[in-house]
Structure 1
Amino acid sequence: MTNLTSAERLAELRANLTSVEARIDAACAAVGRPRDEVTLVVVTKTYPASDTRLLAELGVRDVAENRDQDAAPKAAECRDLSLEWHFVGQLQTNKVRSVLRYADRVHSVDRLRLVSALSAEVVKSGRSELGCLIQVGLESETPEGEHRGGAAPSEVGALADAVAAAPGLRLDGVMAVAPLVGPFAGDPRRAFGRLAEIASRVREAHPAATMVSAGMSGDLEEAIAAGATHVRVGTAVLGARQALR
């Protein structure tokens, strides 16, 4: 990728986007869902701002990052672009102020302390409300997964209530990653089916919380079949992931 000219990289990204869009089209058609129910969020982590600019040129409007130290300078460099920035990584409270300078949504709200920190900083900054998704740790109730990110399914309801009540925050829905351990490991269809059940319960209490962020390059079809409204795709669009610094 590093040896490509800008024009060559643009052509590569266009081809990859076309392929991913075709997969989303087919996945929606297979379960009778309208294509406009699913939003593609391109995960740009580890890739340069120049790629983000090319994606915007190709019509991408939603991009995601998972590390503030990479996202903050990239977002600043791309501030002139009309993009929706999604923060999808584990968020420490000491990074909240920085993340709120660019993120339109945080997909990884998983504990009450983070809800309080986000709310306080939004109010202090005077910015418009922040969209929040509860990250569900589908493996969190197993010994192998208890230290991974995400709230246990049994905690989601109370956490959703807290977000909905917090000044400056807007409860948008739920997010999950297909787990690598626990009863759903290696079975994204069952994992996302479980997430759909949890999302339905959240919507019963909070009807506006309609987002279901699930599915990545390898399992977007299963996520869409289970009702995902947003799929987070990186490798299938941008190519093999570069090593983190």
Structure 2
Amino acid sequence: MTVRRDELAARLDEVRARIADAARASGRDPREVELVVVTKRFPASDADLLAELGVTHIGENKDQEAAAKVAELAHRDALTVHFVGQLQSNKAAHVASYADVVQSLDRPKLVGALDRAAQRHGRTLDVLVQVGLDEGGEDAAAGVAGRGGVAPEEAARLSDLVASAEALRLRGVMGVAPRDGDPRPAFARLREVADGIRADHSDATWLSAGMSGDLEAAVAEGATHLRVGTAILGTRASLG
């Protein structure tokens, strides 16, 4: 465990340094950028080690895995759990029972499902509207796996629905740049969408964009939350 802790600490320091450098290069305060460590496919013990190292946000993208992992966390109270994967309507009620944030709401049907479930559990969920950033406004990758994302021109309408829900709190938008090419134009488009939504919903200040390979571009375009997995946790294969 000591070896794994040291490995995570070293990689976490590297990523934090990248974020700080990117923020300063863009004239931003590094404290404006929140790191969400995506712990998918890694055990609860890794999430607990990260909590001990100062991480306060983790991300998961598969309901079954996430629910079991959250139940095992020794440091659950210290961690905000983000669901970042494509969300199916029939899984929404379960996700609402353990996630603190849902970053991947991309269609109206999910608004009612999450809202009803959150009310049943006596919870309020922070929600981001996922915006598709592939060329032509088509579906984009959801979180770090799967596909999803509302068309940019429909994001404001979906945001209005979220804001009107009793147990959901609209916090902003999420997006993933297309797999190929320069990510900056996609993140710039996401920023435009975010600005438009914020004009009507002043509390929707979150812009979740950027992962291990493109976090610098995301920070340059105003990202407030980064979803980083591999750069910190490595790959399952690397664990031997």
- The sequence identity of aligned pairs, in percent, is 55
Query: What is the aligned-residue RMSD (CA, Å)?
Result: 1.9
Query: What is aligned with 2:20?
Result: 25
TM-score (norm 2): 0.92
Q: Say if 2:33 is the partner of 1:38.
A: yes
TM-score (norm 1): 0.91
| Number of residue pairs aligned between Structure 1 and Structure 2 | 233
Q: Is the 8 A contact 2:51 2:75 kept in 1?
A: no
Query: What is aligned with 1:154?
Result: 153
Aligned partners of 1:202 and 1:144: how far apart in 2? 19
Query: What is aligned with 2:86?
Result: 90
Tell me by how many angstroms 1:93 deviates.
1.3
Alpha-carbon displacement from aligned partner over 1:157-184 (angstroms, at most 9, x marks no partner): 100000000110100000001113xxxx
Tell me by how many angstroms 1:242 deviates.
5.2
Equivalent of residue 106 in structure 1, options 75, 87, 102: 102
Instruction: Give the stretch that moved more between structures: 55-64 or 71-80.
Output: 71-80
Aligned partners of 2:68 and 2:165: how far apart in 1? 28
Tell me by how many angstroms 1:241 deviates.
4.8
Q: What SS does structure 1 have at the residue aligned with 2:104?
A: strand
Aligned partners of 2:107 and 2:97: how far apart in 1? 21
Q: Say if 2:58 is the partner of 1:74.
A: no
Structure 1: runs of 5+ lacking an equivalent: 1-5
Q: Say if 2:46 is the partner of 1:56.
A: no
Aligned partners of 2:97 and 2:135: how far apart in 1? 30
Q: Say if 2:119 is the partner of 1:123.
A: yes
Aligned partners of 1:124 and 1:209: how far apart in 2? 24
Aligned partners of 1:58 and 1:151: how far apart in 2? 35
Tell me by how many angstroms 1:142 deviates.
5.8
Runs of 4+ in 1 over 4 A off after TM superposition: 142-147
Tell me by how many angstroms 1:228 deviates.
0.1
Aligned partners of 2:13 and 2:183: how far apart in 1? 24
Tell me by how many angstroms 1:98 deviates.
1.6
